[in-house]
Amino acid sequence: MKNFVKQFSIFEILLTITILGIHIQASLADAYTFPNYWFKRDDAYYYFKVAQNITEGYGSTFDGINSTNGYHPLWMLICIPIFALARFDVILPLRVLLVVISLMQATTAVLLYRLIKKHLSHAVAILAATFWSFNFYIHQTVYQMGLETPIAALAIVYLVYKLSQFEEIWRTEKVSLKQIAWLGFLSAIVMFSRLDLIFLAVIIGVWILFRGTPIRYLLPLDILIILISMTSSVILRVGFSAYNTTYASSAVEATVIAVIVKTLSLYFFGTYQHRANSILKNVLNIFYATIISSAITAGIYLLLLQIGVGENFPRSAFALDFGISLLLFTALRLTFHLFTNPGIRQAETPLVQFKSNIKTWFNEGLAFYGVLGGLLIIYMLFNHLAFGTSSPVSGQIKRWWGTLPNSAYERPTSDWHSYFGTGTTEITAWEPFTEIFWFSSNYLRPLLPGADKYDERFYAVIVIFTVFGFILFWFNKQKTTQKLTRLGFIPLIAGSGIQLLSYTATAYGGAKEWYWVSQMILLTLGFSLLTHLILKPLQKIEVARRLLEVTAFIVIVYYAYHFNRIVSIVMVRDYFPPDRAYMEVVAYIEENTPPGSVIGMTGGGNVGYLIKDRTIVNMDGLINSYEYFQALKDGEAPIYLHEHGVTILFANPRLLLIPPYYGQFAPYLVRYSSYGGKDLLYLLEEPKY
């Protein structure tokens, strides 16, 4: 035990004690506070109820009737032993989960501290760990919802931490296939923490396999560029509304073809070579590679259309794609040229490089992707056999929602702010950092006056910050490039960008604020690096360096105190009566339905977990079966529900008239009570009309 404690610095111990102390205190709060002030998101209770049912022998089901896979697997595995306690008291596992999450939060903060301290500075590491631990947006979004985000954040940061160690290992010693396979396993853990992090996991493989070559830096960003270029070209041509309802799937199909064709073309035209040619020659090679690959991509897709494979595609979008991708490919390589060591040249041709490395790339690729892909295939096969579909039904339903006009639920991307995740209302992928840009944009009001210049001021601030950061990087380019590499910026940028576009460019309806964990980690590291470069001159002065560290400690004390004060106000003890209903809506349903009722409800996660002697069946399908999803699409959801024992609905009947329900329930309903904008309705066996 003594040796274990010695592994931690005084700061790490104090930070961990502070985080745990605050959250243990919160875990002792009145029962009423948990569903109303802490674990407030309905989606979290989908996990809780399914985990409870698994421990009680009902299988993977929310309602005990329909089997479901609408969740991320790793978080469910963590929830299962905790919610075995629900058979004694439904609030007890919530108390335990709060403390378990705080352990994950403390571990993530300590790993960030170690990572940044090693590669940047001690003062900046303290500030970054403080920010991650006590920023209210991050806490509310990542740690206070009860969703899968705590394990996702921990898995990503740990993987980046191990990658930083790998960066030092492969430069000094031979890497074994076992080490590569282990990184593949860690990447699989990241993927299973949130399945949409598969893009980051795949990019990590590229980063590892092509180490020591420019490919590792350029290929991940090229893939991101191709995705941006192809999908945005179609949007520019047809608009967001038509894109979401008609063209999204064809744009994605064309993008897949473009990724294969364009990256191969860029490689064999030598655009992944390091200073082998002059700048002019490189630009010409980029032009040739882009125009030929764009033509081949267009030809392949148009041929597929002719033989009946694929969907409609605006042909002029291919021309737009050529222009956008050419510009971005060129800008990327010029930037790479500026920031790399001019003394290093790669003399071998692409073909020679391919022949000399193909065996190593193949063996290491098999080790990494064999583990990652093998575990994914096992997961998908299990889902197919157990649930009738290989991927979570919740994601399939939300993609279906995105293609429906005027859906009752969240709609897909409708503007460029949301497409890039910089919105303030729809998709906010870069919070809480975009708040800095929105706030700073107010200072540009004298230069760009008027309410209609709101967006222009915002993007102007981003340009100013980018230029400022570029200048700082330029004057410290050798060490900055090294730090960017050690902190895994390239795979994080590419993985985060592709994950974002996997929602905004695919007509996904209902992307939530907690999806963007990798983006938060990326920008935490990015702002840490920027802060380090700003404070770097002071770090060279011993007195100033010590003063910075003292200041950082003062900052953490202030933010920890402020954070604890807010938590203490919210999570009160001996304030709410012990016999108070956990939620008023639960008490209402219990008073107005007989024991043993099977009740259909839109959402219903928290009600389904907290209600007594009744069963809640999810109607929107997010935590229901694949069979129900098909019935909902076919207009047979009322029949399906009644056949599975549902006799009462608790829903807004006006919501049931519009997509995705299309009024299919109306002939089967009779209202008998109302509460909070929803009605209790009898679900008839036969339609009234």
d(CA 47, CA 64): 14
Q: Is the pLDDT of residue 295 over 80?
A: yes
Strand partners, 67: 61
pLDDT tens per residue across span 432-442: 888 888 888 88
Question: 272, 284, 258, 280: which is closest to 336 by C-alpha?
Answer: 272
DSSP letter for each residue of 232-259: HHHHHHH-HHHIIIIIHHHHHHHHHHHH
Q: Is the pLDDT of residue 6 over 80?
A: no
- Residue 660, C-beta contacts closer than 8 angstroms, at least 6 positions apart: 397, 400, 401, 404, 407, 408, 409, 620, 632, 633
Q: Name the one residue in this structure whose structure tokens are 């609905």.
A: 649
Q: What is the mean pLDDT of residues 58-66?
A: 95
pLDDT tens per residue across span 177-215: 999 999 999 999 999 999 999 999 999 999 999 998 999
HSE-CB at 212 with a 13 A cutoff on CA atoms is 14
d(CA 125, CA 139): 18
Report the predicted TM-score, pTM, of the whole model to 2 decimal places. 0.94
Question: If you average pLDDT over every residue of the chain, what do you get?
Answer: 91
Which is more confident, 152 or 424? 152
What is the three-class DSSP state of 651?
strand
pLDDT tens per residue across span 92-140: 999 999 999 999 999 999 999 999 999 999 999 999 999 999 999 999 9
Q: Are 289 and 271 contacting, i.e. CB atoms less than 8 angstroms apart? A: yes
CB-based burial label for 439 (10 Å; 0-12, 13-18, 19+)? exposed
d(CA 522, CA 512): 18
In this structure, the chain runs to a length of: 689
pLDDT tens per residue across span 475-515: 888 788 889 999 999 999 999 999 999 999 998 988 889 99
Q: What is the mean pLDDT of residues 547-571?
A: 91
- pLDDT for 255: 95
Q: What percent of the chain has pLDDT over 90?
A: 72
HSE-CB at 105 with a 13 A cutoff on CA atoms is 29
Which residues in 209-363 belong to E strands, given as ranges? none
pLDDT tens per residue across span 341-367: 665 556 578 888 899 999 999 999 999
Q: Are 304 and 249 contacting, i.e. CB atoms less than 8 angstroms apart? A: no
- Pairing of the two strands 648-651 and 678-683: antiparallel
Band of pLDDT at residue 5, cut at 50, 70 and 90: low
DSSP letter for each residue of 451-501: GGGHHHHHHHHHHHHHHHHHHHHHHTHHHHHHHHHHTTHHHHHHHHHHHHH
CB atoms within 10 A of CB 662: 15
Q: Is the pLDDT of residue 458 over 80?
A: yes
- pLDDT for 424: 67
Q: Which of 167-171, 424-428, 586-590 has the highest mean pLDDT?
A: 586-590
Which is more confident, 408 or 499? 499
Q: Is the pLDDT of residue 1 over 60?
A: no
Q: Are 559 and 134 contacting, i.e. CB atoms less than 8 angstroms apart? A: yes
Q: Which of 80-84, 275-279, 290-294 has the lowest mean pLDDT?
A: 275-279
Q: Is the pLDDT of residue 466 over 60?
A: yes
d(CA 255, CA 313): 12
